């Protein structure tokens, strides 16, 4: 792979730009940020078995990445409240662009491509106004800033593209400011929501939990082929409180399902990542050291596994793969297979598998 990468860089330098695909980056199935044993940070591509397709340096701790739907290009985001994102050519290892949050903004660590990869959207905090925004970047024109639209709430963290072109946005409801780092400034008044937003900035629907759960910060999302949106939440109250941390909203019917609080006590108030496969939804908790799988029919608990610092999860067929902060990659489909690496995997595992 390094030799091929050097060859591709040579072609680009000579002005003989080939039309690259994800196959030129080793056909990875997943992306994840990680930390090396030397304490450096990288963005990695992984196969379905957990082998590393590529490993590209990034300047600071990463969080999630957005994968271009056709080009071997990924946008690696800094952990919030980061102000940079790198557009990385995963075939050559080169950084194609460096994106910086506009003045008065910071990124939340997530993004999504729309319009077939022509537009990149980023979740952002307008911290002086205390409102959430989505930045629009022109991927056809060097990722030039095109503008911004409302996120439909405060503290937008994750977002996913729906089949109708709208965005599902997880507005966590928490105000922060760079001067106070990750300090949460409005816990007494926070109002998280799931918003559906079109690219022209129209908020077509806002879904809120009942008032007793207003401290349940909606942070991460998963969307399946039927436009059911899975929500992973993080409780901002007493960790001993018994509250549901996983919910699913059906965007087509409007039905909202909440998991049973007693099933999710072992998540310790913190759902880290979420994925959906078939008629199931899976959630992880690095704090609880546990991953759980639920039925989408009745939200019954189907399975759970205990792994220290487990957080990354992604669908593979009708099953799941997971990663941990201690470097374990585990494929749970068919015959479960574990791959132990020397990398410390970060929070999220981004799927490239259609």
Q: Which CATH fold would you assign to the domain 2-351?
A: Methylamine Dehydrogenase; Chain H (2.130.10)
pLDDT score, position 180: 78
Residue 71 tokens read as: 């080009």
The pTM for the full model equals 0.92
Say which residue the tokens 């077509």 belong to.
204
Q: How far is CA 124 from the centre of its chain?
A: 14
* Separation between Cα atoms, residue 260 and residue 343, nearest integer Å: 34
pLDDT score, position 8: 47
* Separation between Cα atoms, residue 174 and residue 113, nearest integer Å: 25
Q: How far is CA 145 from CA 81, 102, 116, 271, in A?
A: 19, 9, 18, 32
pLDDT score, position 5: 54
pLDDT score, position 309: 97
The DSSP code for 101 is: P
Tens of pLDDT, residue by residue, the chain (354 residues): 565 555 444 444 444 456 789 999 999 999 999 999 999 999 999 999 999 999 999 998 888 999 999 999 999 998 877 888 999 999 999 999 999 999 999 999 999 999 999 999 999 999 889 899 999 999 999 999 999 999 999 999 999 999 999 999 999 999 887 777 778 878 888 999 999 999 999 999 999 999 999 999 999 999 999 999 999 999 999 877 889 999 999 999 999 999 999 999 999 999 999 999 999 999 999 999 999 999 999 999 999 999 999 999 999 988 999 999 999 999 998 777 899 999 999 999 999 975
pLDDT score, position 3: 54
Specify whether the CB–CB gap between 267 and 245 falls below 8 A.
yes
Q: Which residues contact 78 (CB under 8 A, 6 or more apart)?
A: 60, 61, 62, 63, 84, 85, 107, 109
* Separation between Cα atoms, residue 4 and residue 14, nearest integer Å: 15
Specify whether the CB–CB gap between 186 and 175 falls below 8 A.
yes
- For 144-197, the pLDDT digits (tens) are 999 999 999 999 999 999 999 999 999 999 988 777 777 887 888 899 999 999
Output Rg (C-alpha) for the chain, integer angstroms: 19
Q: Could you check whether the bond before residue 81 is cis, i.e. omega within 30 degrees of 0?
A: yes
Q: Which residues contact 190 (CB under 8 A, 6 or more apart)?
A: 154, 173, 174, 175, 184, 214, 215, 217, 236
């Amino acid at each position: 792979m390094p030799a091929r990468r050097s060859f591709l860089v040579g072609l680009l330098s000579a002005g003989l730009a080939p039309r690259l695909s994800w196959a030129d980056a080793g056909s990875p199935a997943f992306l994840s940020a990680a930390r090396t044993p030397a304490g450096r940070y990288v963005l990695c591509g992984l196969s379905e078995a957990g082998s590393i397709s590529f490993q590209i340096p990034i300047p600071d701790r990463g969080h999630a990445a957005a994968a271009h739907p056709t080009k071997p290009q990924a946008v690696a985001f800094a952990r919030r409240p980061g102000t940079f994102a790198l557009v990385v050519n995963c075939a050559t290892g080169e950084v194609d662009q460096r994106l910086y949050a506009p003045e008065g903004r910071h990124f939340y660590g997530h993004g999504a491509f729309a319009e077939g990869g022509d537009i990149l959207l980023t979740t952002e905090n307008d911290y002086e106004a205390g409102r959430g925004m989505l930045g629009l970047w022109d991927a056809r024109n060097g990722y030039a800033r095109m503008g911004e639209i409302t996120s439909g709430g405060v503290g937008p963290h994750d977002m996913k593209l729906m089949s109708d072109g709208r965005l599902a946005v997880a507005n966590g409801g928490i105000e922060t400011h760079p001067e106070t780092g990750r300090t949460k400034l409005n816990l007494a008044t926070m109002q998280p929501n799931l918003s559906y937003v079109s690219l022209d900035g129209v908020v077509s629907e806002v879904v809120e939990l009942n008032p007793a759960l207003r401290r349940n910060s909606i942070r991460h999302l998963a969307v399946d082929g039927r436009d059911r949106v899975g929500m992973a939440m993080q409780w901002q109250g007493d960790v001993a409180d018994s509250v549901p941390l996983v919910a699913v909203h059906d965007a087509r019917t409007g039905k909202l399902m909440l998991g049973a609080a007693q099933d999710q006590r072992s998540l310790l108030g913190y759902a880290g990542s979420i994925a959906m496969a078939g008629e199931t939804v899976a959630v992880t908790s690095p704090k609880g050291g546990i991953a759980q799988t639920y039925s989408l029919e009745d939200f019954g608990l189907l399975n759970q596994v205990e792994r220290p610092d487990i957080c990354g999860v992604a669908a593979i067929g009708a099953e799941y793969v997971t990663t941990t902060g201690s470097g374990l990659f585990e494929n749970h489909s068919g015959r479960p297979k574990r791959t132990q690496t020397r990398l410390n995997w970060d929070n999220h595992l981004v799927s490239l598998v259609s």
